[in-house]
Chain A
Amino acid sequence: MDKKIILRRIRHSRFMIVGAVVLVFILALSLLAPVVCQFDPEASSIAERLLPPEWLSHGMAGHILGTDELGRDVFTRLLYGARISIMIAVAVCCSAAVLGTALGLTAGYFGKKVDMVIMRAMEVIQAIPDIVLAICVLSLLGPSTLNLIIVLLIGRTPMFCRLARNNTLVYRNAEFVKASRSMGAGRAHIIFTQILPNITTPLIVQLSQAFGSNIMIESSLSFLGLGIQQPQPSWGNMIAAGRKFLATDPWVCFAPGVALMLIVLAFNFLGDGLRDVLDPKRT
């Protein structure tokens, strides 16, 4: 599509701009966490436990969002937690997109038995709810960041695979593919230069939405104690720890909860915006 049209559409897509700005802001803050924060995310200090946020009465200067039950600064932990959540989301979603697209292209292009084997495998994965699969694997093999990434990757791959396969089927017998086949083009050439460029748009939209849902699942697993382990901060385990103090000190839960909502909202805005911007049928 013409770059000018895309740029013009982006300028008119308010949701997408808001999403992108929020994301860049969160990303910048979390990358700059060591500079922005004056505290250590894992250093506890019992004297300063459960301080309310700075702007409330009894708040202590410096602790913008207060402290948790071990006296650790909530804002600092929030930013360090964002780093690990975003890192896992990027690692999982990008590799799931690549793996899923490769499998989907193969299934869609070669069809028949190859298609059957790959698609049945995807159905097997989807028959087990992904959070259940994740819990089984993580508690049996032990929770570690690598295991977490692998198990989330397994759960995320089928949706990319299905999407890539269904779109490949549309183009496999298209006129231009037939033409280049009759001119002697090889399989690899057809798959990578004729079909792949035509199926990327829905995959990009799917990818941007997968980031948000991946961050949510990761936080659920960390909440259950199977993802990122204390004392390393993650939004899920911060909510889990703060839950005990919900009645008296709600900010310990609310800070990571609101952050979680904001980042997922931003990814969803971006995804919706991208779908509109890249829609070839739009006039």
Chain B
Amino acid sequence: MYFLRFVGKRILQTVIVLFFVSVIAFALIRIAPGNPATLLLPDNATEEQIQEKEAELGLDKPVVIQYLNYMGGVLRGDLGTSYNYQQPVTKVFFSRFPNTLRLTVAMMLICLACGIPLGIIAGIKQGTVIDFVAMIFALLGQSMSNVWLAVLNIYIFAVWLGWLPSVGVGGMEYLILPALTLGYPLSATTCRLGRSGMIDVLREDYITCTKAKGIPDYLVYCKYAFKNALIPIVTVVGSQFGLFLGGSVVVETIFSWSGIGQLLNQAIGNRDYELVQSSLLLIACMCAVVYLLIDIINALIDPRITLD
């Protein structure tokens, strides 16, 4: 009962947030200088042609009506047309989405394979050499701006060692460098969270109790301690997953990885207003849904959360 009420409340909150995001995305484009109608016409267009185009695009109507028309379309699944690609926004967006998804999944795999185990082990073996190495790994990773890390990766693996291609989209070999650039800082963060979470949990009385009962160490760590150290990790890793589903503009641009981030950056450069506006809304939708799922997962891990 508490659980259902909690979920219902969170869904309602998400809908409200998304409504305001749509207003902001809409307003942002309207505030921008420049008339979309003139951008679509040749330079020598007459005043009459401009007005005609404005009427065609619905720009002559009051802003509120324009917004309602837009949202009406959104609710019917019509997110407008990209001026630049002359295709529906949904088509352009979702043709790029698999690339971003691939990158995001690769980033998560790196984080799951390195960050979490390293953090957990460092927490268990606090004060040892492993702990020290893990902390250096984490501190360095958290201090790397993705611009610098990308350039460093390209230099080491593409220029110096010549093992991997530096930029482009293609098979596995193209995926590694951008995934590493996104994955290392995230691994560093989860490593630290895992470590501090594990240290806190291992101090609890119930862990001492399970140990005193003679339950083997590995079972204590895996079954009893790990689950409670997991909540902050799920929150952070999950929210990063949500954020990066919207594409990492910087990393995708550096590696010429044709995903959502690069699309958005180019769309802004081309003043492709409908594409920018609807992409923003789609990105925010994905983020909000992921945040919602995180809260539900956390509530499943720790039912006390729903009582709040």
Counting CB contacts under 8 A, is A111 at the interface?
no
Of B20, B142, B269, the residue contacting A120 (CB under 8 A) is: B20
Binary CB contact string for chain A from 213 to 252 against chain B (1 if under 8 A, 0 otherwise): 0011001100110000000000010011001001100100
Q: Which of A113-132 contact B (CB under 8 A)?
A: 120-121, 123-124, 127-129, 131-132
Which size bracket describes the interface of A in this complex?
35 or more
Report A138 CB to chain B, min CB distance, Å.
Answer: 9
CB-CB under 8 A from B28, the residues of chain A are 136-137, 140
Given A224-B253, A257-B152: A219 touches B143 (CB 8 Å cut-off): no
Which of A59-67, A92-100, A260-268 binds B? A260-268
Task: Tell whether, in the assembled complex, residue A128 and residue B24 are in contact, meaning their CB atoms are under 8 Å apart.
Answer: yes
Q: Which of B32-47 contact A (CB under 8 A)?
A: 32-33
CB-CB under 8 A from A243, the residues of chain B are 151, 254
Which of B95-103, B104-112, B243-251 binds A? B243-251
Counting CB contacts under 8 A, is A135 at the interface?
yes
Task: Tell whether, in the assembled complex, residue B250 and residue A139 are in contact, meaning their CB atoms are under 8 Å apart.
Answer: no
Task: Tell whether, in the assembled complex, residue A135 and residue B268 are in contact, meaning their CB atoms are under 8 Å apart.
Answer: yes
Task: Tell whether, in the assembled complex, residue A268 and residue B145 are in contact, meaning their CB atoms are under 8 Å apart.
Answer: no
Task: Tell whether, in the assembled complex, residue B148 and residue A260 are in contact, meaning their CB atoms are under 8 Å apart.
Answer: yes
Report B185 CB to chain A, min CB distance, Å.
Answer: 9
How far is A132 from B160 in the complex, measured between Cα atoms in Å? 32
Given A124-B24, A135-B249: A264 touches B147 (CB 8 Å cut-off): no
CB-CB under 8 A from A261, the residues of chain B are 140, 143-145, 148
Task: Tell whether, in the assembled complex, residue A268 and residue B250 are in contact, meaning their CB atoms are under 8 Å apart.
Answer: no
Counting CB contacts under 8 A, is A35 at the interface?
no
Counting CB contacts under 8 A, is A253 at the interface?
yes
Task: Tell whether, in the assembled complex, residue A239 and residue B139 are in contact, meaning their CB atoms are under 8 Å apart.
Answer: no
Counting CB contacts under 8 A, is B13 at the interface?
yes
Task: Tell whether, in the assembled complex, residue B145 and residue A124 are in contact, meaning their CB atoms are under 8 Å apart.
Answer: no
Task: Tell whether, in the assembled complex, residue B287 and residue A127 are in contact, meaning their CB atoms are under 8 Å apart.
Answer: yes
Task: Tell whether, in the assembled complex, residue B159 and residue A246 are in contact, meaning their CB atoms are under 8 Å apart.
Answer: yes
| B contact set with A: CB distance below 8 Å | 13, 16-18, 20-21, 24, 28-29, 31-33, 139-140, 142-148, 151-152, 154-155, 159, 243, 246, 249-250, 253-254, 261, 264-265, 268-269, 276, 280, 283-284, 287-288, 291
**Additional A-B contact list (14), CB under 8 Å, known A124-B24, A129-B246:** A124-B21, A127-B18, A128-B287, A135-B249, A135-B264, A140-B29, A141-B33, A220-B250, A243-B254, A246-B154, A246-B159, A257-B147, A257-B148, A265-B139
